[in-house]
């Protein structure tokens, strides 16, 4: 029997428009197989599994046929094109009576989708995939949002959520785990398993702030987490160090908490040179790169969420100017690197600074202003380009010492998906 691809496409496009997949699924035999070539997606076996796949992650784009049906062995083959993205491919159907026994959907390498670096990035965790889709592939928002939703139930995000305590904290502590001993800091390094760091990691992974898990966690942290186990210092009110409070603001603003009081305090703690330094209470009179980027990221999240205030927006611009005057890594006095470590690429950054982290901040902040990127970023951009490996990826130079729940990179010296994602989207923004 000849397969009616025109009818198939009509059924498919109606399903995309209505999000009702039953008519489309009914085209498949009970034991049908649907396969994909050119994208990192596993085969789906059986009508029930096909129905579940469409229900969970059905496409948003419609298709059109672009040529006649041909016959190759026992398959019927027709070219098609996605109507929004323009990406092309073929559908290869094997028919059993009036239903599909096998459908192979291929994607042609004409839009970068088969770039080996992009394929490597996509063949990973949902927390990376959704950002690749949004920042490097420009897929429609509903598609990357559906991929982002998987962070709650799959991979790194689900793994971290599974480690959450019943009271919404991690490792029984706010900044340090309950079982922490001071000797651990010297012998092993700062531990990263407690609540503060888990929340920052969930933000980096992209856990949907409106998800059930996120809303539950935010509520429980507000109810139960205290700095220094002191009821006078609730978690979302922050502690004393600007570096930590910048991250608390970023996490809270991202997850929908009213962070205005802590933002106001950070604005009041800005130093004369425009930046921030957590050593200010100890007498420091100059800002640090690390504290400044942590506070800037917090102010940016707050501004993206609420619009900010006149004072917070001015403080953020002044903080940016502190970094820009120094070309993101140079001493203002001599032009030499302020710290060679700033030119190494770290992940996860935690509180630490490097130029790639700073560039990714400026890329994200560009959503709030018009115009080309500041020319003073050029030195840092050149450095990022110089660090790209011949295979198109970026290696991990360092990762903070200390106890973690699990690794999210393959190891120091090896290509890092996180750094490669960050570098590619920074360079893409710079070149736009």
- Could you report the per-residue pLDDT of 209-232, keeping only the tens digit for each? 999 999 999 999 999 999 999 999
> What is the percentage of the chain residues whose pLDDT exceeds 90?
84
Do residue 264 and residue 364 come from a single domain?
yes
Which of residues 202, 231, 260 is at a domain's end?
Answer: 231
Which of residues 176, 201, 231 is at a domain's end?
Answer: 231
Judged against a pLDDT cut of 70, whether residue 120 lies above it is answered with yes
Tell me 33's DSSP state. E
Q: What is the pLDDT of residue 1?
A: 64
Tell me 55's DSSP state. H
**Count of all residues that appear for the chain in the document:** 432
Three-state SS at 36 = strand
Do residue 23 and residue 133 come from a single domain?
no
Do residue 260 and residue 376 come from a single domain?
yes
Judged against a pLDDT cut of 60, whether residue 111 lies above it is answered with no
Quick one: tokens of 376?
A: 């003073």
- Euclidean distance between CA atoms 289 and 341, whole angstroms: 12
Do residue 271 and residue 149 come from a single domain?
no
Our separate counts of H helices and E strands in the chain read 17, 7
Of the ranges 55-59, 114-118, 315-319, which one carries the lowest mean pLDDT score? 114-118
Contact 249, 262 (CB under 8 A): yes
Which of residues 178, 213, 231 is at a domain's end?
Answer: 231
Give the range of the structural domain holding residue 157, as residue numbers without chain letter. Answer: 143-231
| Cβ neighbours of 374 (radius 10 Å) | 13
Judged against a pLDDT cut of 60, whether residue 246 lies above it is answered with yes
> What is the reported pTM?
0.78
Contact 400, 412 (CB under 8 A): no
Round the average pLDDT of the chain to a whole number and report it. 94
Q: Tens digit of pLDDT for each residue in 160-201? A: 999 999 999 999 999 999 999 999 999 999 999 999 999 999
Do residue 184 and residue 290 come from a single domain?
no
Strand 28-37 and strand 99-107: pairing? parallel
Do residue 37 and residue 121 come from a single domain?
no
The alpha helices in 271-367, defined as continuous H runs, are 289-306, 310-325, 355-365
| pLDDT (mean) for 62-68 | 92
Q: What is the pLDDT of residue 85?
A: 77
Q: Tens digit of pLDDT for each residue in 295-305? A: 999 999 999 99
- Euclidean distance between CA atoms 325 and 321, whole angstroms: 6
Please give the tally of structural domains in the chain: 3
| pLDDT confidence bin for 112, thresholds 50/70/90 | very low
Residue 372 neighbours by CB under 8 Å, 6+ apart: none
Do residue 280 and residue 427 come from a single domain?
yes
Instruction: To the nearest 10°, report the CA torsion of 115, 117, 122, 123.
Output: 110
Q: Tens digit of pLDDT for each residue in 381-409? A: 999 999 999 999 999 999 999 999 999 99
Judged against a pLDDT cut of 90, whether residue 42 lies above it is answered with no
Judged against a pLDDT cut of 50, whether residue 150 lies above it is answered with yes
Do residue 89 and residue 167 come from a single domain?
no
Q: Tens digit of pLDDT for each residue in 76-100? A: 999 999 988 788 999 999 998 899 9
Contact 361, 296 (CB under 8 A): yes
CATH assignment at residue 25: 3.10.450.50
- Euclidean distance between CA atoms 94 and 99, whole angstroms: 9
Residue whose tokens read 């016959």: 71
Judged against a pLDDT cut of 70, whether residue 114 lies above it is answered with no
Do residue 291 and residue 391 come from a single domain?
yes
| Cβ neighbours of 99 (radius 10 Å) | 16
Do residue 22 and residue 52 come from a single domain?
yes
| pLDDT confidence bin for 110, thresholds 50/70/90 | low
Residue 213 neighbours by CB under 8 Å, 6+ apart: 152, 161, 207
Do residue 134 and residue 147 come from a single domain?
no
Contact 248, 266 (CB under 8 A): no
| pLDDT confidence bin for 71, thresholds 50/70/90 | confident
Residues paired with 209 in a beta bridge: none
Do residue 318 and residue 397 come from a single domain?
yes
Closest residue by Cα to residue 177 from 191, 166, 162:
191
Contact 280, 325 (CB under 8 A): no
Quick one: tokens of 165?
A: 């305590």
């Amino acid at each position: 029997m000849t397969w009616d691809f025109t009818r198939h496409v009509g059924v498919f496009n109606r399903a995309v428009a209505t999000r009702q997949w039953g008519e489309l699924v009914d085209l498949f035999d009970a034991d049908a197989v649907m396969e994909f070539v050119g994208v990192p997606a596993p085969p789906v076996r059986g009508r029930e599994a096909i129905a579940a796949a469409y229900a969970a992650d059905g496409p948003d784009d419609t298709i059109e046929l672009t040529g006649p049906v041909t016959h190759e062995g026992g398959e019927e083959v027709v070219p098609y094109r996605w109507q929004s993205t323009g990406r092309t491919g073929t559908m290869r159907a094997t028919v059993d009576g009036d239903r599909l026994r096998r459908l192979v959907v291929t994607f042609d390498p004409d839009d970068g989708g088969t770039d080996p670096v992009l394929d490597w990035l996509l063949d990973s965790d949902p927390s990376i995939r959704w950002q690749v889709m949004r920042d490097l592939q420009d897929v429609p928002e509903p598609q990357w949002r559906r991929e982002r939703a998987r962070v709650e139930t799959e991979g790194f995000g689900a793994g971290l959520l599974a480690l959450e305590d019943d009271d919404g904290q991690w490792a029984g502590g706010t900044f340090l785990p309950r079982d922490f001993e001071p000797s651990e800091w010297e012998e092993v390094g700062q531990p990263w398993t407690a609540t503060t760091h888990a929340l920052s990691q969930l933000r980096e992974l992209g856990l949907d702030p409106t998800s059930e898990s996120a809303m539950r966690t935010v509520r429980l942290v507000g109810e139960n987490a205290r700095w220094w186990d002191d009821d006078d210092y609730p978690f979302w009110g922050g502690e004393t160090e600007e570096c930590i409070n910048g991250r608390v603001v970023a996490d809270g603003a991202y997850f929908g908490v009213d962070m205005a009081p802590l933002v106001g305090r950070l604005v009041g703690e800005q130093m004369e040179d425009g930046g921030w330094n957590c050593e200010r209470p100890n007498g420091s009179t100059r800002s640090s790169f690390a504290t400044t980027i942590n506070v800037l990221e917090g102010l940016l999240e707050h501004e993206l969420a609420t619009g900010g205030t006149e004072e917070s927006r001015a403080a953020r611009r002044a903080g940016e100017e502190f970094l820009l005057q120094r070309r993101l890594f140079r001493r203002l006095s001599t032009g030499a690197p302020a710290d060679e470590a700033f030119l190494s690429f770290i992940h996860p950054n935690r509180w630490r600074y490097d130029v790639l982290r700073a560039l990714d901040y400026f890329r994200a902040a560009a959503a709030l202003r018009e115009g080309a990127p500041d020319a003073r970023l050029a030195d840092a951009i050149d450095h990022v380009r110089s660090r790209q490996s011949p295979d198109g990826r970026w290696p991990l130079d360092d990762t903070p010492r200390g106890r973690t729940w699990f690794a999210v990179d393959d190891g120091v010296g090896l290509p890092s998906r996180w750094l490669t994602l960050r570098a590619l989207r920074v360079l893409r923004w710079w070149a736009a």
